[in-house]
A and B are shown apart, each in its own frame.
Chain A
């Protein structure tokens, strides 16, 4: 049961802020970045279009693609990065540092054998002039560094491996 609960936590990133979604069987909750903000989900009905998008009766249109969630509603376009779910399996994920987007490595701050703390910046990747810090998902030791500054990397490319 414990694992099940963990399985239902998802992270959505919007404008540098993370929102956590807790999916339940009959109702779901959404937490804002400050944890103070919380919403109970209401019932919506989406219909799936031929082009893969979803439509709401109020005219909103949404699309899930390339690791992103796009929503167009009331004349505005919103874009979320989907950070995947936070689960017990995240343990593995937190030890494998992958590039979240295609880009260029501009900084690598660790070498094999270094001890790192959870949340510590390990490397920085840049795409379209936007920098993104790659952080350790757990307290660990650096096992392998598979990249160096200047490398052009693809999305989900393994960059750093952490171990016990």
Chain B
């Protein structure tokens, strides 16, 4: 039995894990850097341990420091959260050497799934579809054409030494192939001094569908259904939901079964996510497997009713899946949509916005879950991911969940750094989102307007002015001249 759990992470996910531990009567240990010494997640834990300087490479990523924290606080298990050391096999190995329980899969699994080529090969061997392609040695035009026909059009020609879109060509038919190939090879040669290319099936309007899986120590693997995570900016997810909208039930079942097959084939232990790319034609392919808890796990918790952190803890203690599900097969009921509230500026290429949070208010309303890591006074620093909170709307139907989430966002207040709050709300209100027409190009394809209307602008300016007026009039420094004039409250 786990008695004292060290959480090798920070912020929102540390608080999330602590919540389950408190319910289960497990003591928690928080670890922190200079930047986090006053953070809510440190104060909330039963014990805390200082790791080092603010840069992750000097604190959260230093395995020896975490091991020191474990031995000095007497923790008997470690939850890595996500990011940082969660997918470092070396960390899992060191813990197992020290006899500490790691809430994650076996180190060999972490290694295997962290290697794109090896994991792809393992999946192919297990009969899991991977994106068809050709990465062979031969650069003969006739060979490449034959391979292209085998893969099936449309295909993508990519430079082996590539990057930045150079030497990349989309080809829709056999007739276009040779000219495009010559041009791609020429471009690649000029740009990288290496004209070699490889081929990959091009998937039109792809969706990102992932499946939550769990494996126990007896080798049993089950799935807890799918999540749709297509809406992304800069390849990072911003909106996630379960169930995936407009996904035929037969296809859903097939994807979930393939995910279980993928995880079973490698003897998966604990929580994992199998990510797929789904084409318009209903064909889907393995992308990668994440060997940890995902940021978007709350949507799965909402529709299945299970606490995934509790499952991780129980599985590490040797409890079987049969017992966790109570012998019944899990069901998916209702709908949940999650958005990630980031300190970033949608009007400035989503660049992170740092600074002190002058005011943070998160709503406590029905059918809304907020997992946040910040409070009024918290500093958003450049050292870490700028995610401030996850807001999850829950409902009997998708539309209900969407409306609840919007209502929640309307009561979410973060003053200080610029946030993507207005932008998130605009995505949820977009007509294509309402219809559930999501794919990974959603944000590029659709103009998501979060600009205020003329009326809103006027109303806000009026409020601003009135407040300024009132503040000035009630201020005793009406005639005083400071660096900021009479704005006595501004410091």
Residues of A that sit less than 8 Å from B by CB = 7, 10, 12, 14, 19, 21, 23, 28, 30, 39, 41-42, 44, 46, 51-54, 56, 59-80, 82, 84-85, 87, 89, 98, 128-130, 156
Contact = CB atoms under 8 A, between A and B. Distances in A.
Given A21-B465, A41-B462, A66 B490 contact: yes
Given A63-B358, A64-B471, 12 more contacts: A12-B461, A28-B465, A44-B466, A46-B470, A61-B359, A62-B467, A68-B490, A73-B456, A76-B456, A79-B415, A82-B468, A129-B351
7 smallest CB-CB distances across A and B, nearest first, come from A75-B410, A70-B415, A84-B485, A85-B485, A65-B358, A44-B466, A21-B465
Given A64-B467, A67-B490, A130-B348, A89 B481 contact: yes
Given A72-B413, A76-B422, A12 B491 contact: no
Nearest to B426: A76
23 contacts: A10-B485, A19-B465, A21-B468, A23-B473, A41-B462, A41-B469, A44-B463, A44-B467, A46-B470, A60-B463, A65-B359, A65-B415, A66-B490, A68-B358, A68-B490, A70-B416, A71-B460, A74-B410, A74-B456, A76-B425, A78-B452, A80-B464, A156-B483
Contact of B487 (A23, A75, A84): A84
A119 to B, nearest CB: 21
Contacts of A64: 467-468, 471, 487, 489-490
Contact of A61 (B406, B413, B468, B481): B413
Contacts of A51: 359, 376
B475 to A, nearest CB: 11
B168 interface: no
Interface string B323-351: 00000000000000000000000001001
* Most chain B beta carbons < 10 A, residue from A28, A53, A59, A64: A64
Contacts of B456: 73-74, 76
B459 interface: yes
A62 to B, nearest CB: 5
Task: Give the interface SS of chain B, mostly helix, strand, loop or mixed.
Answer: mixed
A128 B361 CA distance: 25
B409 interface: yes
B38 interface: no
Contact of A70 (B348, B358, B481): B358
A147 B421 CA distance: 37
A46 B467 contact: yes
Given A21-B469, A54-B467, A61 B462 contact: no
* Most chain B beta carbons < 10 A, residue from A72, A80, A156: A72
Interface residues on B, range: 35 or more
B418 interface: yes
Contacts of B465: 12, 19, 21, 28, 30, 39, 41
Task: Give the interface SS of chain A, mostly helix, strand, loop or mixed.
Answer: strand
A157 B352 CA distance: 25
Contacts of A59: 411
A150 B481 CA distance: 31
A30 B461 contact: yes
Contacts of A42: 462, 466
Nearest to B489: A64
Contact of B415 (A44, A72, A76, A82): A72
* Most chain A beta carbons < 10 A, residue from B359, B458, B471: B359
B414 interface: yes
A77 B361 CA distance: 13
Contacts of B471: 64
Contacts of A12: 461, 464-465, 468
* Most chain A beta carbons < 10 A, residue from B351, B361, B409, B460: B460
B491 A66 contact: yes
B282 to A, nearest CB: 37
Contacts of A66: 356, 358, 490-491
A65 B360 CA distance: 13
A14 B458 CA distance: 12
Contacts of A62: 463-464, 467
Contacts of A77: 413-415, 419, 421-422
A80 B467 CA distance: 12
B168 to A, nearest CB: 28
A46 B481 CA distance: 25
Nearest to B377: A51
B461 A19 contact: yes
Nearest to B422: A76
Given A46-B470, A62-B467, A76-B456, A67 B415 contact: no
